[in-house]
């Protein structure tokens, strides 16, 4: 029995490794085939060109150039290789960020993307970056899990001559990257505060008693959104009853809100969730506590991120306003890479364009630090276009 | 005095005292802040638009939210008793089972759905089978290959979550379906997880009481060699304990994922293996194997949740909460430590002797 079991296990392992082997060799074969085809095409073009050399030199040169361009676009050698060390996939936002990179840096667009999901393990992320250096990729994209401890790794990248582009979260203890592409979390937090002020004035709500379900403590999104909202709250003299972390997860939001409903029963009229997943959890908890929320009800629910599912809840009249944190960094990163390819120097900090979503009744005019903001009405088209 | 001594020698005395002490903090806090001292313990019925009339109160929250750890604690107690080691893979196995189930329910590569791709029961069975397979894997390594339990279960501890990610195509899979949500919501006025936990506890207690399984597992834990000579199949029993542990991890995974109607493989069951081991210890069980007390482990599990809920109720900021949790756990463990108990016994004996001299 024991022997049988061991045998089965071993053979299963063998089959798995064979499959893996087949998989990779198939891929290499395909790549080799593709390369061969391109070479053939180039040869053909060159031969044709030679045959017709007397008749039309220019046309032949064009053909060669075309063939060369084809070769550049589809063979392995000509593609721009990119290593992307992603945080993990803790939320829809993260998933959208990953998908954006996979879509933009696809083979069809002339890129080879090595993607590593670091599963929120900071050591694994640094290892991933080192493996990119060994692979000799052309560019490295990092979404740093934590802000510190990067100088050594980034120096290695610099020594290897590989430009690093940081997205979303920030690196505090090193400036050895060419550009950072991301959101201004402080602005997002301020936007939520300024919107609430304008909306409360319109509705004639005199007193604001807010409960905050914050993100993972210490994450730059948590710090920016907390600080931004608190700045407006302090200025307007609002009460923030409590702020506890829901770790950016639905389960966390559920448990914290469940407790809030008991501790501050009937005392709060605003709930701020620092991402949509926490808002989903908070909604379940408020449903189970008999608290009515959303437009037209006692409790104003504010959320951040504005993922598709979040916008659907805005449309359904559950979330009062949703403040976007644009995950689609890839097009902006591609812009930076194009600038580098052309020998230009990109901006060190690239802020992405972001939208503030609500239903028409909740749309009010407000401004952040003097800059007037326009809100976007949530319609089915907007939801369909969202990540 | 005699009944007091009897109560003191009851094996569950200290775990229960620890639980009561944690709860008592709330009475003091509520009284100090001027609200009803027993508001923490109030249970009421509440009308909701989504779940009808439901039970409502902090005690319900503790029993409800403590379900996953309580379910895990059952399996962990058996594993600790039989193999004198811990299964540190349960949290990851929870996540793997939940991911596998949601992948089946939604279909591979689908990230959000409201309709089920396969009947719910198939999804649940898949989770259970996955849990049993993981348990069998751990069991084989520990019982048949004699690998130390912590090393053996370390494999799935690090691998299971990653396999879950693969199954879910690196996405959070949402299964927003009412029949699936039911498992994590309410059955009538009572939260379903409470009922599921109760069933698990009752079934296991009955099996342990009505059959000799409990005694066999204990004897294997006390001395595997002697048990074998006495005619027990030690390896099979250890294997069985790990299988059961995997099964309960699967059930806990089903509950956890149904609560949020999604498979969040990065976060489901995160650090819960530590809570499960802690509840076994808080229940007055020795992590050195042998004799065990299932009721103690379950009380330990709810004590951990009571600490969490109390910290929420006190409004302790989330940055400081782990520190308070650590202090409370240290206190409880010290109170339950054998040398401390012996010290207390000596003290009371000395008092009794002094009394005798005076008389």
Q: How far is A101 from chain B (nearest CA, A)?
A: 14
Least confident of A30-34, B127-131, B210-214: A30-34
pLDDT at B316: 85
**Is B166 within 8 Å of B109 (Cβ atoms)?**
no
Contact A95 B171 (CB under 8 A): yes
Q: Shortest CB distance from B165 goes to which of A117, A243, A262? A: A117
Same domain, A152 and A215: no
**Is B198 within 8 Å of B206 (Cβ atoms)?**
no
DSSP string, B196-245: HHHHHHHHHHHHHHHSSHHHHHHHHHH-HHHHHHTT--HHHHHHHHHHHH
Contact B56 A289 (CB under 8 A): yes
Q: Does an H or E element contain B45, and which?
A: strand B44-48
Tell me the fold of B58-315. ABC transporter involved in vitamin B12 uptake, BtuC (1.10.3470)
Residue A26 has pLDDT above 70, yes or no: no
Chain B residue nearest residue A258, CA to CA:
B61
Q: Shortest CB distance from B317 goes to which of A244, A258, A309? A: A244
pLDDT at A130: 95
Interval A211-230 mean pLDDT? 92
B115 inside 8 A of chain A by CB? no
Which of the four pLDDT bands, split at 50, 70 and 90, describes residue B336?
Answer: confident
Interval B157-172 mean pLDDT? 89
pLDDT, mean over chain B: 92
Residue A50 has pLDDT above 60, yes or no: no
Collect all residues of chain A within an 8 Å Cβ-Cβ radius of residue B264. 90, 249-251
* Measured distance CA(A97)–CA(B299) in Å, rounded: 43
- A111-169: pLDDT as tens digits: 999 999 888 888 999 999 999 999 999 999 999 988 889 999 999 999 999 999 999 88
Residue A109 DSSP one-character state = G
DSSP string, B256-286: HHHHTTEE-TTTTTTTHHHHHHHHHHHTT--
Residue A60 has pLDDT above 60, yes or no: no
The residues, ordered by sequence, that sit 6+ positions from B276 with a Cβ below 8 Å of its Cβ are B69, B72, B73, B75, B76, B90, B91, B301
Residue A59, domain extent: 43-70+78-177
B255 inside 8 A of chain A by CB? no
Contact A244 B318 (CB under 8 A): yes
Segments making up each domain of chain B, as ranges: 58-315, 320-359
Least confident of A216-225, B117-126, B141-150: A216-225
Tell me which residue of A153, A165, A151 sits closest to A126, measured CA to CA.
A153
pLDDT at A29: 44
Contact B48 A281 (CB under 8 A): no
Evaluate whether residue A218 is within a structural domain.
Answer: yes
Same domain, A209 and A123: no
Same domain, A100 and A209: no
Q: Given the DSSP bridges, would you call strands B52-56 and B44-48 parallel, antiparallel or unpaired?
A: antiparallel
- Give which of A3, A89, A281, A307 to mutate to test B binding, by max B Cβ within 10 Å: A89
Residue B277 has pLDDT above 90, yes or no: yes
Evaluate whether residue A344 is within a structural domain.
Answer: no
Evaluate whether residue A199 is within a structural domain.
Answer: yes
pLDDT at A260: 95
Chain B from 208 to 227: CB within 8 A of any A CB: none
Q: How far is B264 from chain A (nearest CA, A)?
A: 7
**Is A376 within 8 Å of A208 (Cβ atoms)?**
no
Same domain, A164 and A256: no
Which of the four pLDDT bands, split at 50, 70 and 90, describes residue A96?
Answer: confident
Least confident of A125-134, A184-193, A198-207, B311-320: B311-320
Chain A residue nearest residue B268, CA to CA:
A251
Contact B47 A290 (CB under 8 A): yes
Same domain, A246 and A380: yes
β-sheet with A300-305: strand ranges across: A239-245, A209-214, A270-273, A300-305, A321-324, A356-358, A376-377
- A272-306: pLDDT as tens digits: 999 999 999 999 999 999 999 999 899 999 999 99
Residue B178 has pLDDT above 50, yes or no: yes
The conformational region for residue B121 under phi > 0 = left, psi -120 to 50 = alpha, else beta, is alpha
pLDDT at A44: 52
pLDDT at A202: 94
| Separate counts of helices (H) and strands (E) for chain B | 16, 7
Same domain, A173 and A117: yes
Report which of residues B287 and B69 the model is more confident about: B69
Domain stop point among A148, A177, A206: A177
Residue A327 has pLDDT above 90, yes or no: no
Contact B162 A280 (CB under 8 A): no
How many CA atoms lie within 13 Å of B190's alpha carbon, on the beta-carbon side?
Answer: 9
- B306-326: pLDDT as tens digits: 999 999 888 887 778 788 888
Which of the four pLDDT bands, split at 50, 70 and 90, describes residue A19?
Answer: very low
pLDDT at B324: 84
Q: Shortest CB distance from B172 goes to which of A95, A243, A287? A: A95
Collect all residues of chain A within an 8 Å Cβ-Cβ radius of residue B57. 262
Q: How far is B158 from chain A (nearest CA, A)?
A: 11
Same domain, A298 and A210: yes
Task: Tally C-beta pairs within 8 A across A and B.
Answer: 89
pLDDT at A93: 79
Residue B167 has pLDDT above 60, yes or no: yes
pLDDT at B114: 92
Same domain, A265 and A378: yes
Which of the four pLDDT bands, split at 50, 70 and 90, describes residue B85?
Answer: very high
Contact A119 B165 (CB under 8 A): yes
Same domain, A160 and A229: no
User: What SS3 state is found at B174?
Assistant: strand
pLDDT at A25: 40
DSSP string, B104-149: HHH-TT--EESS-SS-HHHHHHHHHHHHHHHHHHHHIIIIIS---H
* Measured distance CA(A113)–CA(B86) in Å, rounded: 41
Residue B72 has pLDDT above 80, yes or no: yes
pLDDT at A10: 54
Least confident of A57-66, A73-82, A93-102, A218-227: A57-66
Domain stop point among A133, A156, A177: A177
Residue A314 has pLDDT above 80, yes or no: yes
Q: Shortest CB distance from B264 goes to which of A120, A250, A263? A: A250
Contact A259 B56 (CB under 8 A): no
pLDDT at B359: 59
Domain stop point among A138, A159, A177: A177
Residue A21 has pLDDT above 70, yes or no: no
Evaluate whether residue A62 is within a structural domain.
Answer: yes
* Measured distance CA(A252)–CA(A260) in Å, rounded: 12
User: Around Cβ B31, how many Cβ atoms within 10 Å?
Assistant: 13
What pTM value is reported for the model? Answer: 0.82
Which of the four pLDDT bands, split at 50, 70 and 90, describes residue A15?
Answer: very low
Q: Shortest CB distance from A262 goes to which of B58, B172, B264? A: B58
Evaluate whether residue A12 is within a structural domain.
Answer: no
* Measured distance CA(A5)–CA(B134) in Å, rounded: 15
Q: How far is A354 from chain B (nearest CA, A)?
A: 24
Q: Shortest CB distance from B65 goes to which of A90, A255, A262? A: A255
Contact A89 B165 (CB under 8 A): yes
Ranked by mean pLDDT, the top range of A31-45, B83-97, B101-115, B167-181 is B83-97
Contact B267 A247 (CB under 8 A): yes
- B92-110: pLDDT as tens digits: 999 999 999 999 999 998 8
Which of the four pLDDT bands, split at 50, 70 and 90, describes residue B331?
Answer: confident
pLDDT at A92: 72
Q: What is the CATH number for A133?
A: 3.40.50.2300
Residue A47 has pLDDT above 70, yes or no: no
Interval A48-69 mean pLDDT? 47
Contact A243 B317 (CB under 8 A): yes
Least confident of A15-24, A296-305, B79-88, B350-359: A15-24
Quote the number of domains for chain A: 2
Evaluate whether residue A335 is within a structural domain.
Answer: no
Residue A243 has pLDDT above 60, yes or no: yes
**Is B72 within 8 Å of B276 (Cβ atoms)?**
yes
Which of the four pLDDT bands, split at 50, 70 and 90, describes residue A13?
Answer: low
B275 inside 8 A of chain A by CB? no
Interval A166-188 mean pLDDT? 91
pLDDT at A297: 92
B165 inside 8 A of chain A by CB? yes
Q: Shortest CB distance from A242 goes to which of B47, B186, B315? A: B315
Q: How far is B116 from chain A (nearest CA, A)?
A: 18
Which of the four pLDDT bands, split at 50, 70 and 90, describes residue A23?
Answer: very low
């Amino acid at each position: 029995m024991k022997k049988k079991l061991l045998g089965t296990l071993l053979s299963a392992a063998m089959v798995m490794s064979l499959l893996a082997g087949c998989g990779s060799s198939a891929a290499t074969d395909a790549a080799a085939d593709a390369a061969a085809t391109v070479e053939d095409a180039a040869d053909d073009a060159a031969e044709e060109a030679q045959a017709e050399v007397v008749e039309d030199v220019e046309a032949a040169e064009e053909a060669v150039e075309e063939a060369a361009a084809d070769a550049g676009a589809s063979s392995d050698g000509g593609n721009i290789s990119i290593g992307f060390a992603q945080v993990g996939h803790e939320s829809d936002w993260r998933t959208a960020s990953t998908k954006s990179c996979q879509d933009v840096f696809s083979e069809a667009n002339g890129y080879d993307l090595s993607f590593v999901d670091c599963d929120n393990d900071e050591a694994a992320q640094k290892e991933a970056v080192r493996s990119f250096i060994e692979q000799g990729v052309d560019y490295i994209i990092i979404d740093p899990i934590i802000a510190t401890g990067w100088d050594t790794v980034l120096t290695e990248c610099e020594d290897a001559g590989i430009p690093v582009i940081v997205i979303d979260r920030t690196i505090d203890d090193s400036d050895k990257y060419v550009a950072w592409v991301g959101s201004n979390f402080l602005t997002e937090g301020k936007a939520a505060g300024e919107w609430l002020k304008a909306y409360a004035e319109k509705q004639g709500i005199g007193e604001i008693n807010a409960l905050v379900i914050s993100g993972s403590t210490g994450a730059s999104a948590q710090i920016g959104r907390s600080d931004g909202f608190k700045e407006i709250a302090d200025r307007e003299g609002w009460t923030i009853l409590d702020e506890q972390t829901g770790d950016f997860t639905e389960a966390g939001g559920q448990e914290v809100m469940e407790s809030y409903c008991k501790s501050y029963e009937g005392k709060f009229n605003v709930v701020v969730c620092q991402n949509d997943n926490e808002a989903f959890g908070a909604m379940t908890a408020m449903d189970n506590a008999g608290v009515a929320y959303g437009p037209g009800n006692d409790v104003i629910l504010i959320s951040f991120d504005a993922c598709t599912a979040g916008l659907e809840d805005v449309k359904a009249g559950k979330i009062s306003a949703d403040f976007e944190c644009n995950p689609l960094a890839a097009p902006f990163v591609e812009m930076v890479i194009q600038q580098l390819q052309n020998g230009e120097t990109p901006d060190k900090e690239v802020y992405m364009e972001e939208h503030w979503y609500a239903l028409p009744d909740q749309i009010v005019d407000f401004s952040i630090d003097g800059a007037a903001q326009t809100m976007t009405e949530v319609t089915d088209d907007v939801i369909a276009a969202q990540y | 005095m005699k009944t007091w001594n009897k109560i003191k020698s009851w094996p569950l005395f200290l775990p229960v005292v620890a639980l009561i002490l944690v709860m008592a903090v709330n009475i003091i806090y509520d009284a100090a802040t001027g609200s009803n001292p027993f508001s923490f313990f109030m249970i009421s019925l509440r009308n909701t638009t989504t779940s009808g009339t439901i039970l409502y109160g902090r005690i319900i929250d503790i029993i409800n939210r403590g379900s996953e750890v309580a379910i895990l604690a059952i399996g962990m107690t058996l594993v600790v008793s039989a193999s004198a080691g811990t299964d540190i893979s349960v949290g990851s196995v929870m996540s793997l089972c939940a991911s596998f189930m949601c992948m089946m329910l939604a279909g591979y590569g689908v990230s959000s759905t409201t309709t089920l791709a396969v009947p719910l029961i198939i999804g649940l069975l898949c989770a259970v089978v996955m849990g049993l397979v993981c348990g069998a894997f751990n069991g084989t390594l520990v019982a048949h290959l004699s690998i130390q339990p912590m090393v053996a279960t370390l494999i799935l501890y690090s691998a299971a979550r990653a396999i879950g990610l693969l199954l879910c195509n690196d996405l959070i899979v949402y299964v927003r379906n009412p029949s699936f949500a039911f498992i994590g919501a309410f059955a009538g006025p009572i939260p379903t997880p409470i009922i599921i936990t109760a069933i698990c506890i009752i079934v296991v207690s009955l099996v342990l009481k009505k059959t000799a399984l409990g005694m066999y597992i204990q004897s294997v834990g006390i001395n595997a060699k002697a048990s074998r000579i006495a005619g027990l199949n030690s390896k099979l029993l250890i294997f069985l304990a790990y299988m059961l542990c995997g099964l309960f991890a699967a059930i806990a995974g089903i509950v956890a994922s149904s609560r949020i109607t999604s498979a969040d493989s990065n976060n489901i069951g995160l650090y819960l293996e530590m809570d499960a081991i802690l509840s076994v210890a808080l229940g007055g069980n020795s992590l050195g194997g042998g004799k065990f007390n299932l009721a103690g482990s379950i009380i330990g599990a709810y004590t951990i949740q009571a600490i969490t809920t109390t910290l929420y109720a006190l409004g302790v900021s989330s940055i400081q909460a782990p520190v308070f949790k650590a202090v409370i756990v240290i206190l409880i463990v010290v109170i339950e430590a054998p040398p401390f108990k012996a010290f207390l016994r000596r003290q009371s004996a000395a008092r009794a002797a002094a009394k005798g001299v005076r008389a």
